[in-house]
Amino acid sequence: MEIIPNILAERYASSSMKSIWSVHEKILMERNFWIAVLKSQKELGLDVSQNEINDYESVKNKVDLDSIKKREVITKHDVKAKIEEFNSLAGHQHIHKGMTSRDLTENVEQIQIYKSLQLTLKKSVAAMVILSKKAEQYKNVLISGKSHNVAAQPTTLGKRFAMYGEELLLVVRNFEQLVERYPIRGIKGAVGTQIDQLTLFGDDVTKVSLLEDNIIKHLGFNNSFKIVGQVYPRSLDFEVISLLNQLTCAPVSFAKTLRIMAGHELASEGFGEGQVGSSAMPHKMNARSCERICGFQQVLKGYLTMISNVAGDQWNEGDVSCSVVRRVAIPDSFFVIDGLLETFITVLNQMEVYPAAIEKENGRYLPFLVTTTILMKAVKNGAGREAAHDAIKEHAISVAKDIRLGEINENDLISRLAEDDRVNLDRKILDEILGDYNRLTGNASNQVDLFLSEVNSWIKRYPDSLDFKTENIL
Amino acid sequence: MEIIPNILAERYASSSMKSIWSVHEKILMERNFWIAVLKSQKELGLDVSQNEINDYESVKNKVDLDSIKKREVITKHDVKAKIEEFNSLAGHQHIHKGMTSRDLTENVEQIQIYKSLQLTLKKSVAAMVILSKKAEQYKNVLISGKSHNVAAQPTTLGKRFAMYGEELLLVVRNFEQLVERYPIRGIKGAVGTQIDQLTLFGDDVTKVSLLEDNIIKHLGFNNSFKIVGQVYPRSLDFEVISLLNQLTCAPVSFAKTLRIMAGHELASEGFGEGQVGSSAMPHKMNARSCERICGFQQVLKGYLTMISNVAGDQWNEGDVSCSVVRRVAIPDSFFVIDGLLETFITVLNQMEVYPAAIEKENGRYLPFLVTTTILMKAVKNGAGREAAHDAIKEHAISVAKDIRLGEINENDLISRLAEDDRVNLDRKILDEILGDYNRLTGNASNQVDLFLSEVNSWIKRYPDSLDFKTENIL
Amino acid sequence: MEIIPNILAERYASSSMKSIWSVHEKILMERNFWIAVLKSQKELGLDVSQNEINDYESVKNKVDLDSIKKREVITKHDVKAKIEEFNSLAGHQHIHKGMTSRDLTENVEQIQIYKSLQLTLKKSVAAMVILSKKAEQYKNVLISGKSHNVAAQPTTLGKRFAMYGEELLLVVRNFEQLVERYPIRGIKGAVGTQIDQLTLFGDDVTKVSLLEDNIIKHLGFNNSFKIVGQVYPRSLDFEVISLLNQLTCAPVSFAKTLRIMAGHELASEGFGEGQVGSSAMPHKMNARSCERICGFQQVLKGYLTMISNVAGDQWNEGDVSCSVVRRVAIPDSFFVIDGLLETFITVLNQMEVYPAAIEKENGRYLPFLVTTTILMKAVKNGAGREAAHDAIKEHAISVAKDIRLGEINENDLISRLAEDDRVNLDRKILDEILGDYNRLTGNASNQVDLFLSEVNSWIKRYPDSLDFKTENIL
Amino acid sequence: MEIIPNILAERYASSSMKSIWSVHEKILMERNFWIAVLKSQKELGLDVSQNEINDYESVKNKVDLDSIKKREVITKHDVKAKIEEFNSLAGHQHIHKGMTSRDLTENVEQIQIYKSLQLTLKKSVAAMVILSKKAEQYKNVLISGKSHNVAAQPTTLGKRFAMYGEELLLVVRNFEQLVERYPIRGIKGAVGTQIDQLTLFGDDVTKVSLLEDNIIKHLGFNNSFKIVGQVYPRSLDFEVISLLNQLTCAPVSFAKTLRIMAGHELASEGFGEGQVGSSAMPHKMNARSCERICGFQQVLKGYLTMISNVAGDQWNEGDVSCSVVRRVAIPDSFFVIDGLLETFITVLNQMEVYPAAIEKENGRYLPFLVTTTILMKAVKNGAGREAAHDAIKEHAISVAKDIRLGEINENDLISRLAEDDRVNLDRKILDEILGDYNRLTGNASNQVDLFLSEVNSWIKRYPDSLDFKTENIL
């Protein structure tokens, strides 16, 4: 029968993320894990020769999934089938000594998670770097900053990008710390007492402790659990998936804002090389990839729900009620975040900004925003304060009404004020007030610089982030 | 590169559920849908010959996924690629007239959902029927009913099963109604105004209305939307996934209770044919399948989270921010419920009950539960009320303490009372009180009969439910 | 110490919803419940006089919370404290006979839920009716229907409202059925066997059955559970909260769309009596209430999460791990839906539509949408098909570009085509094509009529819905 | 009308947590915030006298909620009402200069969150310390470690506690780091450009920067946002609530395990001073508080859902669609975690362990777990390996069957083996093997020591944690 593919992996994730979670790759990880344990056991006195270990090394890449499956049909136990296959290939029976199935599966799953975290971190830094380039590019482009989806005060487009950038920075920092401290379960046995390794090493506590330290170091982890039961605490999975969720927030707020901006034709997510808009509907700037970014977040929230329900659900030393949940939620979460970051970076690279449209929008709203300055100048210029105030208010309300009723297309408040003697300011002065852009946006540009400076310190630590290339997204 | 499989489909779902969601099957559904539209368009006067329709019919089973994929690489549009392939096979260009992509995709997805709902309903009824057989079998087996995980009052094991059965019945009833009323989107065009079909039929509203009615009837639906936009309301998806979630509750409460009962060795989920417990650990009755049932529910809650976040998130006439969410959550939800029901039915079929262990537990707790009756009889028999009351209380507390301190293994309250003159009842009478089992369980057996009678009316409507066979679960 | 108020109740819910969940009202419900049981017990032969029942009736409104609290400090049991208080007021000890605490609390909570459901249903129908009035009012107002937040095809504003209306209708129908079938737990005792009522009535099964039927009828329920344990199945709570969630979807999609429309100044949610926009910022049409509607949905999703985690979590016959969850999630869900409906109806009543702005937007997009008709007419009028097609395409792309670059403010495609000889159509004909509004919107108005007709049948059954008045919202 | 109380605050939270979120306390925080800003503005040159500041200081504790409410009815703006009230009390109009409402509300809410985090951290450390005391107390008490809720390998009760302890430790560490780095929004104005403070200080960027630094330092924060919009990023709220959720996992797994242990009468959560078990049902050890701990977690998951849905939902510079969500989810999350920790610590303090019952359970399962050792000894002692192996297997299966069928009450495997010549070991030797407890539990006790040593370093940093007293829980 036809295989139903994992849609997240096949449609959205990058090949590097898929590879971590492929069946083939997992078997290699398992075999490397067994060999690492065996080497360490040898060092600590277990009777196994270097030649025998070499025999395992030499066959570890011979992955025959069908043969393993056949063994599983007989043993009805997947770990046993894999042990038999590897032993049979190597011609020895030395692996998995003093280990239970969980000593293999928990650790190898954690290796997969760890590799996925590292890949995600790398991609997140790249996204942050590219976002910072956009913030720099539009650092001084004045836009009508909006609250309640309506213009409120001027800001710059670069600051808007840097605002989402700072949100991203916050979580990338946490993320880096998580990767640093992520602890592996280690070899602890069926209920965590290490009794089987102790038996193997004649109750020598020091040797068992050394064995574990060696393996953890070998696998590249900085940290490990000491007191687990059958399983490592699932609240660690919760921590991981929760951070992936947090990581989506800045990209999603960005994407949602771009969808809204596209509706106003202020910007678009752009098109791929060679792609063109519909000739019949050339105004269509569909933010499809941004919509997908938003969708990804909802998917990831679902996996958070799943994992939140296995964290804190340990009965005694553990059981497998979390098994199906983790099989689904953990790899799929990484496929989602990977697809999201690929899409986010693609959008950042391809997005287009339409300064003329932005200017036009500013033309509509800025006059309302400078009326307090106009009043001050008018009074300074000799106008009566009350008269000027009344004039400004009258005209402002009347302009707003005329726009809404469709009687005018553009905000002509400045013209009306120029013609009103009560205001006593000529058109040139009024235009100057309106045009003093640098002042209107306050600290916006300075804030962008702060962000750039933060990102620069990351670029130094992650120099590859400057050259990050996405795969082709759908 | 190796394909990452959908773990829920490949590991847990039945072949009938997988088939509904296979790529191959979906192409057949799409082609049948196009043909149905075409036939109806012909009836209503569109210029297409029966021979041409026959040509489509004759090639519809020729599904060549590679060829479609090649076309998609060129067109960059999956629906267009499928149209071209089908047209090319048939040698005509008649399908998809007056339709937009969503007229195809929304409807075909709903056909998949509808078929999945019908399959799930059938399986739910089967589960209910098998549960009722178990309720009948253990209708009169007295067990210590528990609140707070501690014995509270006697009930029967059959009533415990019927209790979960009634919970299941409640939702199966709702489920049947949902299948009955489930509405399809129909052919509404890009923003729902049917403008393109109207154009095709010279603005003839009646014909466009007939076209839609024909297709809906042809597809076997009883109901349709009338006023959708680009998409049908996603709150319908929420309703579906929500009901699937509700459907898990009775099986999961059952499974959790069986896990607890297995811990007391009162029952086990049994073993498959030929399977034996560990010889070293023959007491191990691992409720692995029950644990999996519990895990399935958590997974389904995750999909509910996803879908809850696209319901009520329609901007204007719609967009594709829900696309990735629905691609994941909808098929995967059906794979989960399917796996859950397969597992639940398997457990029901294989479970074992240990009456001796149940009796032993009753022996421990029942004496505490009949003390009020003993007091009444004692007074009737001439004992002083206060003296008898004090005696009973003293002995009860002392028995509980002795059990907890490990000084006795069995509840010997009856013996102690028999030897206490203040109680004035001989052992035989005391044993009779304790042994009046039928009375102790109140209406429990009658309630089981009520459940059986309800289920019988379902068996009449779903006679196949009696012969339901699960596939082999892992 | 100062009491922390329930913010949802105090800030957003109506006084009628608050009253259902007030401590005072609950005590009245409990006392009425006890009296109903007592009356029925009397009818069935229990030794209690009518005078004694009258004594309870006469004091039932004397609710002294302090006195009850004092009793609870002594008994450490809230139900016992309430029994003692009521008995002491009446001067008898007849209530609560053969009942356990859960026989009181489960049923009274279900009465609260039932009343809340009825109130919510009434309000939902009212919302649907008011929405239908708006759909009627704007039935023929052409707007640019949007997909991906960008104009796609013309529709009418009335159809847009009716589209959300149909989504609402779907769930209101389900909701009415839920209210109809909502089952109450009834008097079943500690583990559901009714043993204590059986004891009270000398093991007379018929009397116990009659007792329950009487009470259910008295309380106004149509349905009851038969086979519960200590508690009724929590999947019923899930069903309730899930439907409340579904009920939010149409209002939230409406509110989100209005927030977007407000950003384009096409409409606003309006202002309360006497409220004015800022004079400095007269363009600010903040959709604050719509934002709140969106927020309410997120809150309700949280309660769905809570309740989904107690459904299917019954150990044996039940425990109180759901207690704190239900205390929070159930009343608060009703406060939220109540606040949402109050806000939604308020927005519907106060919203303003700006036809001139809508027209202006149409002016921008419609020319692109009628190019295929123009081509047909041009050819009919003698233009060369290829020449005309090239001309149209050229001009369309150039107009879109000019708008984006800010070189033109309005879509002047029609003017450009009128001046191009290749098209061979004069301005008048082109304007006619563009102006044939009724045709452009297809079946939109007919669909509105379908919705109105559906709603009319509801108005007949719920005539009060026409006069529904919201309370003043914040 | 009667006020509906916040059930979480009033029923479960401690008075110290309630105080942080009381209306009265919040007004004090606001006034202190205004005064801090004013002082700093004075230092930086704003024209306000020390006497005027003193006037504000002297009236800040005069909180008259009614008066504020009256002002709000007129202004229809809560922040304005509070400004007027404070100004009126002080007799000046200096506060809130250059500030928008959000400059007040965002920061004060963050102060509330920060204080709540600090309180929660303190309580978490206390819980960890008390848990470590229990781990120490039962460090060497052998229990049957369980997987799948069935005995698997021996461990110690102390290690079981330490296992949950290590899970708790992991999150408390993260939690401490979050408190350390938690950033405050600061004074940024309506869209985050600080334009209004810049205006106030004549566009002096340095002064505006100093103003913010002063205030942040004054409030006790170590960190602040630099580039926010109207609001601080809601992913920070997500991070906070997510960590609170993670914090529940260890207590909940502990509580669930204790509920299961109570079902086996191995332990109970104990009773409060003076409380006694039912005399009729003295075996009832209801784990009600543990059930509540489990319930609390489900509630907190609901708030996580809420907050996850406002994180990443920022449109442009922000709106208030998150307002109702945060009003509910943030304080209520802290009430829940507070109630959970109070309950958890209470259970830890009051719990009772029944070593005799544990021993009895061990008696039942341990014989199965030492059969491999018996085989080795038998062979050493001269028995034939195959004969001995067959004998052991035969007896083990037969014992398990007899227990299940109720034919024996205790595992008599040792006796049977002692009587079987094939095994060739006398009873004394067999008892010795079974009794070698220290060896059976492997590294369990050493792991407890590791945990104790970790906790000791926390006690040094949080010496108060040793004396933590819970309030009386219900």
Mean pLDDT for the stretch of residues C253-276: 85
CA distance C59 to chain B (A): 33
CA distance C304 to chain D (A): 7
How many Å from the N-terminal Cα to the C-terminal Cα in chain B? 27
d(CA D249, CA B84): 55
Cβ–Cβ < 8 Å for D113, D330: yes
**Structure tokens given for D39:** 């002082």
Q: In the prediction, which pLDDT does B437 show?
A: 78
B346, B455, C215 from B468: Cα distances, Å: 11, 15, 40
Chains in touch with A (3+ beta-carbon pairs under 8 Å) read: B, C, D
**Residue of C358, C136, C447 lying closest to B194 (CA atoms):** C447
How many Å from the N-terminal Cα to the C-terminal Cα in chain A? 27
Amino acid at C395: H
Mean pLDDT for the stretch of residues D358-364: 92
B375, B395, B415, B417, B424 from B384: Cα distances, Å: 10, 16, 20, 14, 9
Whether residue C277 has pLDDT greater than 70: no
More confident residue, B368 or B293: B293
Q: What is the pLDDT of residues D28-41, one digit of tens each?
A: 999 999 999 999 99
Whether residue A351 has pLDDT greater than 80: yes
CB contact under 8 A, A354 and C404: yes
Q: What is the pLDDT of residues A80-128, one digit of tens each?
A: 899 999 999 999 999 999 899 999 999 999 999 999 999 999 999 999 9
Q: What is the pLDDT of residues A427-463, one digit of tens each?
A: 999 999 888 878 899 999 999 999 999 999 999 999 9
CB contact under 8 A, B7 and A328: yes
Q: In the prediction, which pLDDT does D145 show?
A: 95
Q: What is the pLDDT of residues C178-230, one digit of tens each?
A: 999 999 999 999 999 999 899 889 899 999 999 999 999 999 999 999 999 99
Tell me which residue in B18, B21, B302 faces A302 most closely, judged by beta carbons. B302
A-chain CB neighbours of B76 within 8 Å are 275
B149, B413, D290 from D285: Cα distances, Å: 9, 18, 11
How many Å from the N-terminal Cα to the C-terminal Cα in chain C? 27
Length of chain A: 474
Identify the band that residue C469 occupies on the pLDDT scale cut at 50, 70 and 90. very high
Cβ–Cβ < 8 Å for B270, B347: yes
C-chain CB neighbours of B160 within 8 Å are 229, 316-317
Q: In the prediction, which pLDDT does B373 show?
A: 79
Find tokens 């709000």 and name the residue. D72
d(CA D40, CA B371): 76
3-class DSSP state of B319: coil
C-chain CB neighbours of B260 within 8 Å are 315-316
Chains in touch with C (3+ beta-carbon pairs under 8 Å) read: A, B, D
Whether residue A317 has pLDDT greater than 60: yes
3-class DSSP state of A106: helix
**pTM across the whole model:** 0.96
Q: In the prediction, which pLDDT does B74 show?
A: 82
Q: In the prediction, which pLDDT does A275 show?
A: 53
Q: In the prediction, which pLDDT does D181 show?
A: 96
**Residue of D179, D163, D159 lying closest to D119 (CA atoms):** D179
Q: In the prediction, which pLDDT does D156 show?
A: 97
Mean pLDDT for the stretch of residues C260-276: 80
Whether residue D373 has pLDDT greater than 90: no
Q: In the prediction, which pLDDT does B473 show?
A: 80
**Residue of A306, A147, C276 lying closest to D322 (CA atoms):** A147
Q: Are strands C142-147 and B150-156 parallel, antiparallel or unpaired?
A: unpaired
Whether residue A280 has pLDDT greater than 70: no
Cβ–Cβ < 8 Å for A186, A212: yes
**Structure tokens given for D471:** 């309030």
Number of Cβ pairs < 8 A linking chain A and chain D: 276
CB contact under 8 A, C283 and A372: no
Find tokens 């009350």 and name the residue. A386
d(CA D212, CA A57): 61
**Structure tokens given for D413:** 């495997």
Neighbours of C361 (CB within 10 A): 18
**Residue of C34, C43, C96 lying closest to C207 (CA atoms):** C43
Tell me which residue in A171, A227, A316 faces D149 most closely, judged by beta carbons. A316
Neighbours of C438 (CB within 10 A): 13
D-chain CB neighbours of B283 within 8 Å are 150-151, 364-365, 368, 400, 403
Whether residue A310 has pLDDT greater than 70: yes
Q: What is the pLDDT of residues B408-417, one digit of tens each?
A: 888 999 999 9
Neighbours of D325 (CB within 10 A): 27
Q: What is the DSSP string of A220-235?
A: T-SEE-SS--SS--TH
Q: In the prediction, which pLDDT does D256 show?
A: 98
DSSP code of residue B36: H
**Structure tokens given for D108:** 């004060």
CA distance B374 to chain C (A): 14
CA distance D366 to chain B (A): 10
C-chain CB neighbours of B190 within 8 Å are 145, 147, 152-153
CA distance B188 to chain C (A): 9
Cβ–Cβ < 8 Å for D198, A443: yes
Find tokens 């006298």 and name the residue. D49
CB contact under 8 A, B444 and C208: no
Query: By CA distance, what is D280's nearest residue in B?
Result: B368
CA distance D59 to chain A (A): 33
Residues 6 or more apart whose Cβ sits within 8 Å of residue B370: B433, B434, B440
**Structure tokens given for B73:** 């690489």
CB contact under 8 A, A24 and B2: yes
The residues that bridge with D147 in the sheet, in sequence order, are: D150
Three-point CA angle B211, B217, B223, nearest 5°: 100
Cβ–Cβ < 8 Å for B290, B347: yes
The residues that bridge with B183 in the sheet, in sequence order, are: B223
The residues that bridge with D175 in the sheet, in sequence order, are: none
Q: What is the pLDDT of residues C103-123, one digit of tens each?
A: 999 999 999 999 999 999 999
A386, A399, A404, A413, B358 from A390: Cα distances, Å: 6, 14, 22, 14, 90
A90, A200, C433, D89 from B202: Cα distances, Å: 76, 86, 16, 76
Whether residue A372 has pLDDT greater than 80: no
Helices (H) and strands (E) in chain B — how many of each?
20, 6
Q: In the prediction, which pLDDT does A416 show?
A: 95
CB contact under 8 A, A246 and D235: yes
Residues 6 or more apart whose Cβ sits within 8 Å of residue A365: A144, A151, A411, C283
d(CA A314, CA D252): 8
Q: In the prediction, which pLDDT does C359 show?
A: 92
D-chain CB neighbours of C315 within 8 Å are 259
CB contact under 8 A, D323 and C4: no
Q: In the prediction, which pLDDT does B474 show?
A: 78
φ, ψ of residue C152 in degrees (nearest 5): -125, -55
d(CA D455, CA D474): 29
Tell me which residue in C4, C21, C323 faces D292 most closely, judged by beta carbons. C323
The residues that bridge with D142 in the sheet, in sequence order, are: D156
CB contact under 8 A, D295 and C9: no
Q: What is the pLDDT of residues C434-465, one digit of tens each?
A: 888 788 999 999 999 999 999 999 999 999 99
